[in-house]
Structure 1
């Protein structure tokens, strides 16, 4: 199998982020970690992913500082995977993907999971980027300033 090209040195933040978390298993692991899953077996049961793929993705997420390992909270010989602040900050990306999926991938009235606020039980408000004045920003009103590579 051919080695895929790394984007670790690409000047685009989207390319670098996708290089690390752009496959479905990595983002689903982060999603599950945000939901409180911490053990290898629990990730595997919830995701239905092959052990070797899960081990590879968990190792990469630990290596890049999105997850950390720690002794099991129940004192057993196992270890647990916990989100670091870097991993936890992907919450915004997960919510954006979730809300996009809710809008575009379900038929009207089709049942799906819903993200709600812990305290109120109310649905989390739709996320939108805003301009410097606080107005909702549309794609036509933003441009990427690209760097010139030498």
Structure 2
């Protein structure tokens, strides 16, 4: 299945991966969260070619994850700002950061720490139940697939036989 084929599946993860799942897009998002908003800054920090960066930025604009905003009129220059939809990807980027810190070696210490602006303490992302507040992990939930997703998965499994 192609990356574009993921968009047609009845699966939130597949649809998300089809939009932001390539490494360059994730690196662009990381830079935007690090407050690098200008094309040349993002290019320098990611090492992407100008063409590749342009293609990915257009895709993010079309998905309403970023918007261009003029910061200079003559010559016309733009910076890229995360939309609300883009800002909601923050937990995704932070989870990738924390996974990398846990499973890779950092002889000089982790490269980036997060401090809670209100209290000043170092913090990590935590998943908790929105009802009771208890922490949750993959062993603490049950899954309920929609009938559409169940039917689609059966069809896909049958095609594999």
TM-score for both structures, normalised by structure 2:
0.79
**Residues 74-101 of structure 1, C-alpha deviations (whole Å, 9 max, x = no match):** 5442111111010011111111111122
Kindly report the root-mean-square deviation, in angstroms, between the aligned alpha carbons of the 2 structures: 2.3
List runs of 5+ in structure 1 lacking aligned partners: none
Map 1:1-150 onto structure 2 (within 5 A): 4-72=3-71, 74-76=72-74, 77-107=76-106, 110-118=109-117, 120-130=119-129, 132-149=131-148
CA drift of 1:71 comes to: 0.8
Query: After TM superposition, where is structure 1 displaced by more than 6 Å over at least 4 residues in a row?
Result: none
Q: Please, what TM-score do these two structures have when normalized by structure 1?
A: 0.84
Give secondary structure in 2 for the equivalent of 1:79.
strand
Q: Which moved more, 1:35-44 or 1:2-11?
A: 2-11
Structure 1 pair 5/79, CA: closer, same or farther in 2 (3 Å)?
A: closer
CA drift at 1:119: 5.3
What is the aligned residue count? 148
The change in CA–CA distance for 1:31 and 1:8 in structure 2 (over 3 A counts) is: same
Q: Unaligned stretches of 5+ in structure 2?
A: 152-161
Determine which structure has more spread, i.e. the larger CA radius of gyration: 2
More helix by proportion, 1 or 2? 2
Q: Distance in 1 between matches of 2:121 and 2:30?
A: 20
